[in-house]
Amino acid sequence: MKNDFHDADFLLQNLMDHMKDNIYFKDLQSRFLMVNQAFCDRICFPPDLIIGKSDFDLFTKEHAQKTFDDEQRIISTGEPLLGVEEKELWADGHVSWASTTKMPLKNDDGEIIGTFGISRDITEHKEDELRMARYAEQVRRIKEEMEDGVRMASELQKTFFPHSYPLFPEGARPDETCVDFFYDYRASGMVSGDFCTIRRLSSTQVGIFLCDVMGHGVRAALVTALIYAMSEEVSDLENDPGRYLSRLNKLLSPLLQQEDIFLYATACYMVLDVSTGLLRFANAGHPIPLHFKVSESRVAWLFDDKTLCGPALAIVEDAEFSTGTIELQPGDSIVAFTDGLYEVLNEQGEEFGDARLLEAAQPWASSPPDQLLSALLDSASRFAGKEGFDDDVCLVGFRLKHLLSTGEKSS
């Protein structure tokens, strides 16, 4: 049997057939001599229609001209291009990015007879990089605005909170909607690191996001602004709560994991389908929300499975967050809150704690939403023996009054 491991043609063919990066060989006029299958798959052309053509036949003139000039420079100088990022402009108008290395192609006499190269698609990585650059620019602009005064920052933060609530069905009067939303926000200073959003996702789904940034003051407020901008964009791209937090964490981590910065944020994200009562949720190191079960006249934690509690955002860059599900009954309420609610201390230095919070919530299992929040805040304040909180406090939630009917969805 022939030893294929010493057959150069066999080895080259295996490389060309199985390498996922794009491999290509070109002549002195930058026309394709040979390409691998990955290259064909990427441009959706069979090999026999590519050989003999140039980039001018496949890409826009702007991109093809730059590629041609680069390759002619390699041919004339013998100097390779190593790991160059290229912006690819396709004939159909879309844009992609590649990391490219190109070398002079030489014959047995050492004469340059063309070029060859390998390109790796880095479009997703580059788009994330460009997105983070936009976020960094957004933070820079926000910082400049905040330098005019903390009061301006305080006014800016107020825009992050809901000013109106989605109605289901859309266009219904507030008293006709099948779900009531509510929130309460108590800042410990002029600016804070807490915020919440309530956002319609579709005709039957709504997303509720609650976030608590570590620390206080302008620095926490800057990170809050950053996360707010990211969360709005990610909600347009990802509907699953676990993947939503995973994507948000991936974008946030490189910005906060720096030598002179140690910042993180806890968060929870819930997606409610008002037509089925199905609630999907994910948690990033955040307190577990309260579930007010009206049919049982009792209050419980939304979930008991601790594996659903992922790490805080920006702690583990590649963290993956799990999605939990629960089916709510008409009349049920969910209240999410930041840790400032139960970390208040009394005069003896005792913490209110989550156990006391759950106990304090029990008598209000069937109460209207506004009474729920007032009762929880009052219980914590009475325990501390003073008004106000030393830490920022934000509560957000909803009450499912009834399921959205088929007729309501179509109206």
One-character DSSP codes across 286-340: PPPPEEEETTTTEEEES---GGGEEPPBTTSTT-----EEEEPPTT-EEEEE-GG
Residue 147 has pLDDT above 70, yes or no: no
Task: Give the pLDDT of residue 1.
Answer: 42
Which CATH number goes with the domain that contains 267?
A: 3.60.40.10
- Range of 83's domain? 4-121
Which CATH number goes with the domain that contains 113?
A: 3.30.450.20
Which of 99, 121, 143 terminates a domain? The answer is 121
pLDDT band at 381 (very low <50, low <70, confident <90, very high): very high
Average pLDDT over residues 199-206: 95
Task: Give the pLDDT of residue 390.
Answer: 84
Residue 21 has pLDDT above 90, yes or no: no
Average pLDDT over residues 213-225: 78
pLDDT band at 158 (very low <50, low <70, confident <90, very high): low
Give strand pairing partners of 266. 212
Average pLDDT over residues 377-406: 90
Same domain, 353 and 389: yes
Please state, rounded to an integer, the average pLDDT across all residues of the chain: 86
Which of 74, 98, 121 terminates a domain? The answer is 121
Residue 325 has pLDDT above 80, yes or no: yes
Q: What is the per-residue pLDDT across 52-61, written as a single tens digit (0 to 9) for each?
A: 888 888 888 8
Same domain, 116 and 129: no
Average pLDDT over residues 126-137: 80
Same domain, 149 and 247: yes
Task: Give the pLDDT of residue 94.
Answer: 75
Give percent of the chain above pLDDT 90. 45
Same domain, 228 and 199: yes
Task: Give the pLDDT of residue 157.
Answer: 64
> Maximum CA pair distance of the chain?
91
Chain centroid to Cα 408, Å, comes to: 32
Strands 298-301 and 265-273: unpaired
The candidate with the shortest Cα–Cα distance to 175, out of 409, 401, 395, is 401
Average pLDDT over residues 206-217: 88
Same domain, 131 and 113: no
Residue 304 has pLDDT above 50, yes or no: yes
Q: What is the per-residue pLDDT across 60-118, written as a single tens digit (0 to 9) for each?
A: 888 889 889 999 999 999 999 887 887 777 667 777 788 888 989 999 888 999 998 88
Give percent of the chain above pLDDT 70. 89
Same domain, 169 and 55: no
Same domain, 336 and 298: yes
Asked whether 335 and 363 are in contact (CB, 8 A), the reply is no
Overall domain count for the chain: 2
Q: CA-CA distance, 261 to 219, in Å (whole number)?
A: 10
Average pLDDT over residues 271-297: 95
Same domain, 66 and 141: no
Same domain, 168 and 300: yes
Same domain, 218 and 88: no
The candidate with the shortest Cα–Cα distance to 211, out of 147, 146, 287, is 287
Task: Give the pLDDT of residue 136.
Answer: 79
Average pLDDT over residues 229-235: 86
**DSSP at 110:** S
Which of 83, 102, 121 terminates a domain? The answer is 121
Task: Give the pLDDT of residue 153.
Answer: 58
Q: What is the per-residue pLDDT across 338-374, written as a single tens digit (0 to 9) for each?
A: 999 999 999 999 999 999 999 999 999 888 877 889 9
Same domain, 129 and 266: yes
Same domain, 45 and 137: no
Residue 196, classified by CB atoms within 10 Å of its CB into exposed (0-12), middle (13-18) or buried (19+), is: buried
